[in-house]
Amino acid sequence: MNWPPMLMHVKVKNERTDFGLWLPLFLLFPLALVVLLILSPLIIIAILILLALGQGRWVEFGFRCLWAAITSSWALRGLRVDVQGHHETVQVTVI
């Protein structure tokens, strides 16, 4: 089973700054769920209006986009980008 990404580490190093940032992605999932629950009445109303107007394809498209966003973010675990320039280094790691 593939686990969702838990942490993201961003590190930027140049002549002036040198900082690393740990982003707790696992905290975003409950937050996203709460936002979705709060917005769900509005989403349902929007879906009903679109269906009544005969624009059901936009509903389908919206769901497909949402699913694609979820699967893409789920698959981010293991991503590592490391770019080193002459004077600057940027590292992004998803754990």
Partner 1 sequence: MSENRKKILEMLAQGKINADEAYRLLGACGEEGQENRRHEDGGKRGPDIKTKPKYLRVTVTPEDNDDRAHPERVNVRIPMSLVRAGIKLTALIPPEALDKANTALKDKGINFDVRNIKPEDLEDLMEAMGDMQIDVEGSHGEKVKVFVE
Give the number of other Cβ atoms within 10 Å of residue 5's Cβ: 20
The beta-strand segments (E) located in 1-95 are 7-14, 18-24, 80-84, 88-94
Q: Determine, following the binding rule CB under 8 A, whether residue 66 of this chain makes contact with partner 1.
A: no
Query: What binding mask, one character per residue, do residues 23-62 give for partner 1 by CB under 8 A, x or -?
Result: --------------------------------------x-
What 3-state class would DSSP assign to 83? strand
With CB under 8 A as the contact rule, the residue among 18, 44, 51, 84 that binds partner 1 is 84
Nearest to 83 by CA among 25, 5, 10, 24: 10
Nearest to partner 1 of 18, 82 (CB atom): 82
Using the minimum distance from each CB to partner 1, give the nearer residue, 48 or 68. Answer: 68
Indicate the SS3 state at residue 43: helix
Least distance from partner 1 to the Cβ atom of residue 32, Å: 17
Residues making contact with partner 1 (CB under 8 A): 2, 61, 64-65, 68, 71-72, 74-87, 89
